[in-house]
Structure 1
């Protein structure tokens, strides 16, 4: 059973709605331990001084910010604590905006928000009002001594179970790289062939489907787990050479579009037809 990572209240106007915050994701990263190749001995990392090579105890370590090459400003723990954002148990809503106005580039980490004891009616009122208005809330909160910008929105997917509010922490504007800073951006005045455009649209239409998140799997992670399981059982593997990628090959765009559509048609013909559900 998941446990809340934070308890507090959504605050807007004079209204406070006690809520609990839950992680909406559980990472399935595979972690490896560093070992000595000759005998499998576990490797332990030590903190050492760069100048004399002596090991440094945790109690002797402080934070430093490099202001110029090899010149640091040292910050003591008590100085860091003095500038931490004031810890509150509030998610302060600052604005309500249209969801379509937010570039997904700003989203960081998702959470679920559920009502705390006695807050069911106020919580449902906010949820229903946001659904009806089509707006989402932009808020600020402090979590683990860090201030976050966040967006609160109703869970709108019919496949995600009961309706509830979700919260996603967001990046601040100065943390997102502006596209105009990039090199090699496409030219705006490129003239597109009408036939190529029509085929590209047809290709997109041929690959269009309803979003079903459960059909997308982390194949690389599964291959790693299979490899670990097989090696644990004593099997050996021969490493296959990776073929070199051919670079500089000029693509015939029209030929690629035609071949893509033909491949999709061939694949569709081989699939068994779905039976229509009885009404």
Structure 2
């Protein structure tokens, strides 16, 4: 279909389309009022992180708004709450939460409920099998050894690294590095993997306790 013959529309019912003109879509686009109206406040620990999508730094528009901005930020910090609001981003109304962040605030765009996949539809068939308590102890030891502070500077873009390596190899007239083969889809012995991980970290794995015997 040629571009000039294409049109936008909405399928109201099966095979029943409502045509929408470009001018009608333009009229729906919103303009920012450069103000934020707080709809409600919610406790920080009640915010479902699955809905958090894109963060923005928020500062007052001018010096006149600085006092009100600072007072609200400190009050929210003391009460450990975030503000829920709706703002215009990219000509569309977006639900957001606003929370204190350093000397300013952090405005985070939210996903809508329709964008979320229900966890029940994904986890419904999962069962809770019985597990070896020794495995749990080994896993806890490994976690204790690996616990550290959250540090975004450690993040790596492996795709970008591979792309740079390929470009560098081609520039030097060499063959691009081969991609690593996909891992074999064999059944993994979790106990063996955990014990090897502990040994690598220099941690002694707990030995299985022997069953108590009755004296004759």
- Per the normalisation by structure 2, the TM-score is 0.81
Unpaired segments ≥5 residues, structure 1: 1-48, 50-54, 156-161, 267-279
Query: 1:15-45 deviations in whole A, cap 9, x for unaligned?
Result: xxxxxxxxxxxxxxxxxxxxxxxxxxxxxxx
Paired positions, count: 202
Q: Matches of 2:48 and 2:73 in 1, distance apart?
A: 22
- SS of the equivalent of 2:38 reads strand
The answer to whether the aligner puts 1:194 opposite 2:140 as a matched pair is no
- In structure 2, the CA distance between the partners of 1:149 and 1:244, relative to structure 1 (3 Å rule), is closer
- SS of the equivalent of 2:59 reads strand
The answer to whether the aligner puts 1:56 opposite 2:27 as a matched pair is no
- Who is 1:251 aligned against? 188
- Who is 2:151 aligned against? 212
1:252-271, aligned counterparts within 5 Å? 252-265=189-202
The answer to whether the aligner puts 1:163 opposite 2:103 as a matched pair is yes
Q: Matches of 1:242 and 1:252 in 2, distance apart?
A: 22
- 1:177 pairs, out of 114, 117, 120, with 117
Q: CA deviation at 1:252?
A: 2.0
| Structure having the larger proportion of residues in helix | 2
- SS of the equivalent of 1:120 reads helix
Unpaired segments ≥5 residues, structure 2: 204-216
The answer to whether the aligner puts 1:136 opposite 2:82 as a matched pair is yes
- In structure 2, the CA distance between the partners of 1:56 and 1:241, relative to structure 1 (3 Å rule), is closer
Moved more, 164-173 or 216-225: 216-225
- In structure 2, the CA distance between the partners of 1:111 and 1:173, relative to structure 1 (3 Å rule), is same
- SS of the equivalent of 1:149 reads strand
- Per the normalisation by structure 1, the TM-score is 0.64
Q: Matches of 2:14 and 2:48 in 1, distance apart?
A: 37
- SS of the equivalent of 1:90 reads coil
- SS of the equivalent of 1:119 reads helix
Q: Matches of 2:183 and 2:165 in 1, distance apart?
A: 27
- 2:92 pairs, out of 121, 146, 156, with 146
Q: CA deviation at 1:94?
A: 1.1
Q: Matches of 1:72 and 1:63 in 2, distance apart?
A: 10
1:1-279, aligned counterparts within 5 Å? 49=1, 55-57=2-4, 61-67=6-12, 72-85=17-30, 88-117=33-62, 118-155=64-101, 162-182=102-122, 185-188=125-128, 190-231=129-170, 233-238=171-176, 240=178, 243=181, 245-247=183-185, 249-265=186-202
Q: CA deviation at 1:234?
A: 4.6
Q: CA deviation at 1:212?
A: 1.5
